[in-house]
Amino acid sequence: MKYIILLGMLLSCVQMSACDLCGGVGSNASIGIFASNRFHLVGWRQTYRLFDSYLYGIKHSSEAIWQSDLNFRTQLGKRIQVYGAIPIQVARQKTDFTTSFVSGFSDPNVLFTYSLIDKKDSLNVTHDFLNIGLGAKFPFGKFLSYQNDLKNLAPGTGSFDGLILANYTHRFQKGWSFQGEASHALKGKDREGYQFGNSSQLSSSMIYNRKIQGYRLISSLGLQFDEYQASRLNGVQMVGQTNRGYILAMKASVNLLTNRFLFSAQVQAPIKQELNQGSIQQKIVFGLSLNYLIQKKQHEKNNA
């Protein structure tokens, strides 16, 4: 049980990217496939996203986004957790004639969650866990004017955004668990009055946990649905390609847990999508992360 709790803690890093390519792709939030409330952590995550852009059905450019996040998690009491991330982003757009780069600090974010349900059995093993959360993204990163063709590749949005989230985990027998999550992002305006549309995310995963020679190998397989509303300028919906759309994707992860570290690899591939009136196609999302566990007290570790 100790390793399940450690994994939950380590995977529960808020992920809220500032870049709103295709109307917020990647800008919804997640705290991972498990939830936990016993440890602190500090970690690093690298995410790589690929897109193709089309004009009248003809591909005219390809986009790649590299994002690095420094994450932290701390515990306030038995039920309240605080998550945060400071991201840096590099984006590249390549056409037949030019290659453009946009890079800089992205918008930092913070999330507070409360464990509404924490149901354990007689052996103190958690079987049902429900977290609800409120968070914010702050407009401290680099952003571009809405008149700039590369605005959707900027690391920041220039707006203060709010977040509502719920994450539920149920543990079955023989190492199997189910996780479901829902989140909604409320997008604010930048100083020019431009506003990316609000966005929502639904996801679910089946998780398998197996012990191998003193380590834990945890794998997951699931689905994720993201929906994005239209962009607005001074409250009026913009005409033409407005970043509106949706994407349904399959996702999977493999995680190796040691006594102090968690090494993770994640991949996401689209199944069906309609982004920016079909002018954008997401190809693949790939992530790597490394997290370090910081225990609070020795007796808490012994009771985990």
Q: How far apart are CA 195 and CA 265, in angstroms?
A: 33
Question: Higher pLDDT residue, 248 or 150?
Answer: 248
Q: How do residues 47-81 score in pLDDT, each as one tens digit?
A: 999 999 888 888 889 999 999 999 998 888 788 88
Average pLDDT over residues 23-46: 67
Number of domains in the chain: 1
Question: Which of the four pLDDT bands, split at 50, 70 and 90, describes residue 22?
Answer: very low
What's the pLDDT score for residue 132?
A: 93
Average pLDDT over residues 143-162: 89
pTM of the entire predicted model: 0.87
Question: What's the CATH code of the domain at 143?
Answer: 2.40.128.130
Phi, psi of 35 (to 5 degrees): -130, 150
Region of 245 (left: φ > 0; alpha: ψ -120 to 50; beta: rest) is left
Spell out the residues 6+ positions from residue 214 whose beta carbon is closer than 8 angstroms to its own: none
With beta carbons less than 8 A apart as the criterion, state whether 206 and 178 touch: yes
pLDDT over 90, % of the chain: 48
Q: Which domain holds residue 39?
A: 2-269+276-303
With beta carbons less than 8 A apart as the criterion, state whether 87 and 69 touch: yes
Please state, as a whole number, how many other Cβ atoms lie within 10 Å of the Cβ of residue 57: 7
Reference 125, options 36, 208, 213; nearest CA is 36
Q: Tokens in use for 58?
A: 């003809």
DSSP state of 303: H
Q: Where are the beta strands (DSSP E) in the chain?
A: 40-55, 58-76, 80-95, 99-105, 109-120, 126-137, 161-171, 176-186, 194-195, 199-212, 215-228, 232-233, 236-237, 245-257, 261-275, 280-294
What's the pLDDT score for residue 54?
A: 87
Residue 112 has pLDDT above 50, yes or no: yes
Which amino acid, one-letter code, is at 124?
N
Q: Please give the mean pLDDT across all residues of the chain.
A: 83
Q: How far apart are CA 226 and CA 222, in angstroms?
A: 14
What's the pLDDT score for residue 289?
A: 93
Phi, psi of 9 (to 5 degrees): -60, -45
Q: How far apart are CA 226 and CA 49, in angstroms?
A: 15
With beta carbons less than 8 A apart as the criterion, state whether 140 and 117 touch: no
Residue 24 has pLDDT above 50, yes or no: no
Distances (CA, A) of 172 to 18, 122, 128, 152, 169: 35, 15, 10, 42, 10
